[in-house]
Amino acid sequence: MRAQLLTEPKRRLVAAEIPVPQPGPQQLLIAVRACAVCRTDLHVVDGELPGPKLPLVLGHEIVGTVVAKGAEVDRVALDDRVGVPWLGWTCGVCEYCRSGRENLCERARFTGYQIDGGYAELTVADHRYCFAIDPQYDDIAAAPLMCAGLIGYRTLRMAGDAQLVGIYGFGAAAHIVAQVIRHQGRRFFAFTRPGDQQAQAFARELGAEWAGDSTMVPPEPLDAALIFAPLGALVPAALAATKKGGTVVCGGIHMSDIPSFPYRLLWEERSVCSVANLTRRDAEEFLKLAPQAGVRTETHVFSLERANDALESLRKGRLHGAAVLVP
């Protein structure tokens, strides 16, 4: 089958013909119909996330059709359409799994990192970590929901009942969570790269009451800030824009170092927290909520052979929405 392989960090992906994977007892063999491109893929390619499986098939925002299944699979049928997210397996026995925090599992394995993912014609996935997709979404539209949507949703949950939310970095995750915020009757401001008028206009189209660059002071203090851009300097900036008792939530898996900042920015019971991965409960809740909220994804389609172009477009900030690979 055709695949795009990462053979070594800091190198371009290589087109290859690799054997069709065989599903284990609890796995599905999935014909990939679409796989969105995530900034985490860039972090893996750039060597910022240590110890990936090599050679590796990237991709953890997969939508596809079940073409074969293992002997122990009883909850999914052949020809079912499923989505495959970043969290690919957990042990079920560590203290985190037993306390409902499987996203922090000591031995968790991740799709497109330790498990081959969706930059290929076929992939295998544990059926317990695959999810049904609402039929109102076609394959391309559904793919970004599997990480940009899920992580955005978990990040918003960490902000509690904040009514005025600042979103720093208006990319794939932000454009989805913005729609959830509006559906829930909340308000949001958008912060973009300096000079990115297109992203600011896109944010306003999605309901932003104000949009400006990340160096600017918003017209009102925020109840909470969600940071999706991997820039540590945004943490003190977001704290400075947040009310007493507010929360700054870092939604990425990797971020550059946070610079030192005066304690007064944290004082008055402001807090900073991170989001790690997701749980199956997050997926079930969000994939039910998305069609109710009328969430629509902005997508830019690339053929599988153009995976390197898609990654570079993401790196350079050329995309407003999500890149999606189609085999």
**Distance in angstroms between the alpha carbons of the first and the last residue of the chain:** 10
Per residue in 137-146, pLDDT tens?
999 999 999 9
**Do residue 76 and residue 103 come from a single domain?**
yes
**Do residue 196 and residue 226 come from a single domain?**
yes
CB within 8 Å of 35: residues ≥ 6 apart: 59, 61, 62, 63, 117, 118, 119, 143, 324, 325
- Is 141 a domain residue? no
**Do residue 219 and residue 245 come from a single domain?**
yes
| Domain range for 266 | 150-274
CB 1 within 8 A of CB 20: yes
**Do residue 207 and residue 238 come from a single domain?**
yes
CATH of the domain at 42: 3.90.180.10
Measured distance CA(220)–CA(135) in Å, rounded: 40
- Is 290 a domain residue? no
Per residue in 186-236, pLDDT tens?
999 999 999 999 999 999 999 999 999 998 999 999 999 999 999 999 999
- Is 292 a domain residue? no
Measured distance CA(28)–CA(326) in Å, rounded: 20
DSSP letter, residue 56:
E
CATH of the domain at 210: 3.40.50.720
**Do residue 227 and residue 195 come from a single domain?**
yes
Measured distance CA(120)–CA(84) in Å, rounded: 13
pLDDT band of residue 319 (cuts 50, 70, 90) is confident
**Do residue 220 and residue 174 come from a single domain?**
yes
| pLDDT attached to residue 317 | 86
The domain tally of the chain equals 2
- Is 145 a domain residue? no
**Do residue 194 and residue 220 come from a single domain?**
yes
**Do residue 128 and residue 185 come from a single domain?**
no
pLDDT band of residue 162 (cuts 50, 70, 90) is very high
Distances (CA, A) of 261 to 123, 214, 216, 267: 45, 17, 17, 11
